[in-house]
Chain A
Amino acid sequence: MRTIALLGQPNSGKSTLFNALTGSHQHVGNWPGKTVERAEGFFTQGEELYRVVDLPGSYGLTANSAEEMVTRTYIERGYADLVCIIVDAAQLERSLYMLADFAGVKSPVMLVLNMMDVAEQQGKKIDIQKIENLLKIPVLGFIASDLNGYPKFFKTLERAIEKPAMISSSRIRKFVEENADAKNVSVIEKLESLIENLKLGIREKFWMVSKLLENDSLVCFEVRNAVGEKRWSEIQRILDEMGTDGGLLTGEAKYRFVSEILRDASSSCEKAMSLSRFDKIATHRIWGKFVAFFILVITLAVSMMIAVPIIASCFGLQSVAEPLVVKMCESFGWWPSVASFINSVIVGGLAVTVAMMGFVFAILVTFGLMEDTGYLARSSYVFDSWLSRLGLHGKAFMPLFSGLACTGGAVCGTRVLDTRGQRLFAMVLLWSIPCGAKVSVVLFLASVFFGSAAPLFGVIYVAMIFASFWLSSKLFGNKLMPVNERVGMIMELPPYHKPHWKILMKTVGRNVWAIFKKAIAVIWLVSLIFWLVSYSKDGNVEHSVLYTIGNAIEPFTQIFGMRWQLFISYIGGIFSKEASLGVMSVVFASTNDAFSLISRNEAGANLGEMMRAVVSLPEALAFIFASMFNVPCVLTMGTTYRETHSFKWLLAIAGYYFAISLGLAFVVYHVALWVL
């Protein structure tokens, strides 16, 4: 088996290439000991099995973030048999910087110029052969989204493996010397002699020196440990004296290296560049936000149109299937509890999961489209100032906003974020953003108990959500997004592209399937637990395990103002918001339905009346506030588990929201007891 590492800047089409090469043979997990997502996949070509590692996207090889450290370490240790550098042919000069930064690592390499079609449309002429002659490595002009072009890719790959070729940093060293004054030239020679005894591995000495000059944390750490304190203090003195000039010097030289390659090999007609009319509005401080809201609302509405029929048909099928299961069990002579188990856990869990996959599918398509077309970056640009206060990138706006439609689906939408820390943090925030179902439960309860004052709860709710954002950023922000790793917004706004429907739908389909598999496991597990504790032979809640437990711990839950009926409804709310109303119908309004924590019973018409008769106002307040920050639903738990690849993080986030919701209930209940 051979290992190929894909190395490229964001928006270079790296993931398109990765997905097209590996198809469904992918494995996504975490890099050992790191909060960075690791994606690898496999494909066979001829007799050979290839492993493809999709390295986290980065603009260069200097290690500033956890993602960049993973990429850099993988490259400089030579873990791959071949490094495949992908650059955007339409932005050749800038994206070849990655190649220049790589030069000096003695690892076999091939270069893929992606999006040749876009470059051509822009009137750029690129002579692939000339670039290949100059660099002396295999070079391919390519369109990653065109599945017919892959035989060409495999041919170039074969060449690269048969005749391994590398790029030296000697040209870059020459340009540094030409640019630098005599003093700086001697600095480079001095540094080279100071690290003489360093174990270089596959790295050239000048590559190490240039990383030293750029104050790269990994190289500084390594050199410091290797050369001893005395030499290091001398190196440090030199670096301090250079300041950031060192990084500017090497950076400029690397771009000269790139322009030298391109001087003869590419030509473009100079076009006067200006903002397109659409971009003028889309990036406007005020109008841009309206455009973003408008586009989001429209796309979410369209995605609802896709999702709602799926949801309706799911629950329709469920109601058809349930009597059939009962009949089947009767005819086999099985206990009624078997039918209850199959219906509640297996059929019910499947129906909920498939139904919610409608949302997940819709959100992934929507976001995929926005990313593909390049609009996502514009929306990030206009919302960055809001989100940077929380330490998040402007890109987080889209997933957070879509949390209003479906929390579980939006959790999958956090994929648009670049670092895993940002994704985890966005997920933490998302759990507090109510979906439509949660809002309706909270407002229903508020109107039952407080009548016309219910809208006030809406206002308080919004304020509390922002307060929880603040709390989350205090608790998680620094750990997940270290302040010293944050760089104020410097982002690329990629040119608009036509969406690649075929690849997009394939990728989304694969992801939905992968999410479904993880989610159904969690949902079945939770359903099983809920079914076990809420099962009673006669459907009477007082004969269930949960009643026994609830009654036993009632003295404890009373602290939060929750008697057993309310506490059981609260627990039901973890399953789904509708279930929490269903539970209340059974325990308060004694409807004829059998008690179950996972039932989707309609809230009976007299539910409000019955509750008002039994539940006191402080208790009602406690319950309403507890519901606001209750765990969203079992689907959200499923997708969060799948997206974090970590059970620990799922438990941490769930525990955090239990603490908030119960803490709030406690405070509200006791204040209300005192005031009312």
Chain B
Amino acid sequence: MCLSEMKENQKGLIQKINGDSRFVSRVVSMGLPPSSPFLVLQNDGRSPVLLYSHDTMIAINRKECMQIEVEMA
């Protein structure tokens, strides 16, 4: 499943990041490489998704969330 399908307060693990290498390097350097655990803080279905990982709160646009494959933890 992709990141935007996760619900609030659910925990997950990053599996794979799709997209060009610019996008991948950005996501990785922001602290979300594969196998990172994260917690969804906010996902109201319209605004960018807010998640928490490696002590950091990160906001990701919904379109970009579709490119991030995750699994529930």
CA of A596 to CA of B54, assembled, Å? 63
| Mask of A256-284 contacts with B, CB within 8 angstroms, 1/0 | 00000000000000000111000010011
Question: Is the contact region of chain A dominated by helix, strand, or loop, or is it mixed?
Answer: mixed
Interface stretch among A93-101, A446-454, A538-546? A93-101
With A255-B33, A273-B52, A491-B59 already in contact, the answer to whether A248 and B24 are too (CB < 8 A) is yes
A93 touches B50 (CB 8 A): no
A489 touches B48 (CB 8 A): yes
Residues of A within 8 A of B24 (CB): 214, 244, 247-248, 251
With A93-B55, A283-B47 already in contact, the answer to whether A244 and B21 are too (CB < 8 A) is yes
Residues of A within 8 A of B53 (CB): 94
Chain B interface bracket (under 10, 10 to 19, 20 to 34, 35 or more): 35 or more
Q: Tell me the minimal C-beta distance from B21 to chain A in angstroms.
A: 4
Q: Which of B23, B54, B57 has the most CB of A within 10 A?
A: B57
Q: Is A92 an interface residue when CB atoms closer than 8 A count as contact?
A: yes
Q: Is A299 an interface residue when CB atoms closer than 8 A count as contact?
A: no
| Mask of B15-42 contacts with A, CB within 8 angstroms, 1/0 | 0111111111111111101111001011
A285 touches B47 (CB 8 A): yes
CA of A215 to CA of B23, assembled, Å? 11
A97 touches B41 (CB 8 A): no
Chain A positions 460-513 with a Cβ under 8 Å from a chain B Cβ: 484, 487-495
Residues of A within 8 A of B22 (CB): 64, 484, 487
Residues of B within 8 A of A93 (CB): 31, 54-55
- Out of B21, B39, B58, which one reaches A491, CB within 8 Å? B58
Residues of A within 8 A of B47 (CB): 283-285, 381-382, 385
B50 touches A283 (CB 8 A): yes
Q: Tell me the minimal C-beta distance from B44 to chain A in angstroms.
A: 6
A493 touches B25 (CB 8 A): no
Interface size in chain A (residues, C-beta < 8 A): 42
B34 touches A248 (CB 8 A): yes
With A59-B29, A214-B25, A247-B21 already in contact, the answer to whether A493 and B57 are too (CB < 8 A) is yes
Closest Cβ neighbor of B28 among chain A residues? A251
CA of A283 to CA of B51, assembled, Å? 12
Residues of B within 8 A of A284 (CB): 44, 47
Q: Tell me the minimal C-beta distance from B53 to chain A in angstroms.
A: 8
A248 touches B17 (CB 8 A): yes
Residues of A within 8 A of B60 (CB): 489-490
Closest Cβ neighbor of B58 among chain A residues? A492
Residues of A within 8 A of B44 (CB): 284-285
CA of A484 to CA of B23, assembled, Å? 11
Q: Tell me the minimal C-beta distance from B13 to chain A in angstroms.
A: 12
Q: A residues touching B (Cβ–Cβ < 8 Å)?
A: 59-60, 62, 64, 90-94, 97, 101, 214-216, 244, 247-248, 251-252, 254-255, 273-275, 280, 283-285, 381-382, 384-385, 484, 487-495
